[in-house]
Structures are given as C-alpha cells and as structure tokens.
Amino acid sequence: MSTGYGSGKDSSSTTTTTISPSVSADSSKEKKDSMPREKQKEDLSRMEGTYGKEVIGKLKKLKVCIIGLRGVGIETAKNLVLAGPELVDIHDDAKCDIADLGCNFYLTQDDVERGTSRAQAVLPKLQELNPNVEIKQHSGHFEPAHLDKYDVVVCCDDRLPEQALKDFNDHCRNHKPKPIAFLVAHIQGAVGSIFTDFGPSHTILDDNGEPTQTLIIDSILNNQVNARVTIDGKRHGLYNGDHVRFTEVKMQGSKKAGETIYGPEDTIIDINQTHIIKQTKKSKSVYNREYKRTW
C-alpha cells in the first residue's frame, strides 16, 4: 500500500507539479514596489510589537505546507499569509463542491460549476492578501519526502488516511538536521481537535502568550532573608512559580540600586524610593508524543 496521498489521483502516479500565481515576475515586483515604504514599516512595527522581534525574524524565513483547504485549512492559510512567512504551499486537488461554499469563504458558485480544484480556486485570492509572501500550489501525488523543504506542515484534510498521517509525522519528527513541525487540525461539527509535534522536545519561550505585568511595590520589610514584599493593591495577578524582576531596590551590601533579578537567598533592603516589580517569563523544554502514540 502506498503511503502517499493524492486527492482523486491514481495512487501509482508520482508526478508532482508546483504552480505559482499567474503573474509575471515583473508585475509581481511592480505590485510590491507600489506599496509605500512607510506602510510596510508601519505594518512590520505593529507585528514586532505583537509577536516580538525574534519571532518576526524567524517568521520571515518560514516555509509552510498546508494540506486541505476546507474550513480549518483556508482559515489557517489566510491568517498565515497575513502574518508574512517566506513561503506557503497549499495542497488540495479535490474539486470544489456545493458544500464547500459553507466553509471556504473564497470559493464561489462558478468554481463549483467549472470543477476547479480547491487549491487552484483560492490561490490568486490568497496572493492578494500579501504580495510579499510567495504562495504556490502543490498538485498530484504526495509522499513524505515531499515535505523536506518545509519548516512546518499543517494537515487539515479529514480525508487523509490515518496511516498517511502517521507516515508524515514520522518523517517530519525524524527529519535531519532538525525536525519539521507537524500539526493536524480537524473540525467535526461543533467539536474540534488539534495535534502538534515539534520534534522529540522543544523549548517554549512563552507558555501563555499573555503580556507581562508591571506592578508598584507598596513596602519591603527591611533586612530580612526571603524578604516579604507587599504589592500596592489587592489583585496582583501573579501565580506561584512566576518569575519577577525588581527595579529600584538593592541587595544588602550593594552600593547602588538597579534592575536585577533576585533569588530566594538574597536579602533585599528598602531604599525609600518608588519600587517596581516586573513579571518575567522563563523558557522551558517539553516532550512531544508521536501521532501514532496519541490514540
């Protein structure tokens, strides 16, 4: 049995084609150049404020493959293209059906009547969202080896055989020199499911995505080991295990105040100024299970 996947294709065929949007290189360049530089800088600045400079730097180099373009797949593609990765490849050779009009907002009655594939129908509309992103269509038989050029693979097609999902996940997980992030997302009526595998282990820099808090310190009990700090106000929003950074306080024996992270063995003394406590986030490593071990 072949482990490849081809929507409505002969499983013995290994032909693979990649189709770019129907615009010339010159017209694409003109479209990019027509966007005011100030607007590009403004958009980039907003994104950096939302995601952080480090994340944006990685995002601009990201190459993603999305398999399946019904409800979850097209929403994933739209949001991803707006975020601005380097490349997005879409794959869905299934012909547009009347039922697709209720879950894919880019498809039309004309697409159904012409028998256009979902990927071909949405390709030019995704390209219009962000001219700075290269968007391509992968057509034909799909083998695990086809995934080698991507950094992230997102499977949103519930018609994909479970064995194919296992084979894709195994290939991505064991890819060298680094694993390929592998995600599976499905919706069944009002219920949804998602599976993620970023390799045997990966580091999480922010485990909740919430902005860090800055709080005013009401008082510090002087010259006490494991000093008790009182926060101004009743609700500080911090939890056991949270890491914080003190500003405008100093450790016993220190000659000046500054912004320092203190540990449980340090002694903090009050310097009779306004004191600030800033929440910080600490990275952690997590282990991921393989797809075949989750059921």
Asked if residue 77 and residue 188 are part of one domain, the reply reads yes
Asked if residue 106 and residue 188 are part of one domain, the reply reads yes
Q: 135 phi and psi, to 5 degrees? A: -120, 130
Comparing 216 with 134, the larger pLDDT belongs to 134
Closest C-alpha among 184, 188, 137 to residue 156:
184
Classify residue 8: in a domain, yes or no.
no
Instruction: Tell me how many domains the chain contains.
Output: 2
Asked if residue 232 and residue 95 are part of one domain, the reply reads no
Radius of gyration of the chain (CA): 25
Q: Which domain holds residue 100?
A: 16-199
In angstroms, the Cα distances linking 40 to 43, 48, 54, 84 are 5, 12, 18, 11
* Angstrom distance (rounded) from CA 21 to CA 93: 16
Single pTM value for the model: 0.70
Classify residue 289: in a domain, yes or no.
no
Comparing 90 with 45, the larger pLDDT belongs to 90
Element (H, E) at 183: strand 181-188
Asked if residue 46 and residue 23 are part of one domain, the reply reads yes
Classify residue 80: in a domain, yes or no.
yes
Asked if residue 244 and residue 168 are part of one domain, the reply reads no
Residue 23 has pLDDT above 70, yes or no: no
Asked if residue 66 and residue 26 are part of one domain, the reply reads yes
Residue 252: the pLDDT is 54
* Angstrom distance (rounded) from CA 121 to CA 286: 39
Asked if residue 142 and residue 47 are part of one domain, the reply reads yes
CB-CB neighbours of 137 under 10 Å: 21
> Given pLDDT bands bounded at 50, 70 and 90, which one contains residue 271?
very low
Cβ neighbours for 64, distance < 8 A, ≥ 6 positions apart: 80, 85, 87, 88, 89, 150, 151, 152, 153, 154
Coil, helix or strand for 59? helix
Pair 278, 212: CB distance under 8 Å: yes
Residue 234: the pLDDT is 56
Q: What is the per-residue pLDDT across 120-150, written as a single tens digit (0 to 9) for each?
A: 999 999 999 998 899 999 998 888 989 999 9
Closest C-alpha among 106, 129, 102, 126 to residue 116:
106
Q: What is the per-residue pLDDT across 41-64, written as a single tens digit (0 to 9) for each?
A: 666 677 777 777 778 888 889 999
Asked if residue 250 and residue 138 are part of one domain, the reply reads no
Asked if residue 164 and residue 70 are part of one domain, the reply reads yes
The token pair at 227 is 């000093």
* Angstrom distance (rounded) from CA 129 to CA 118: 17
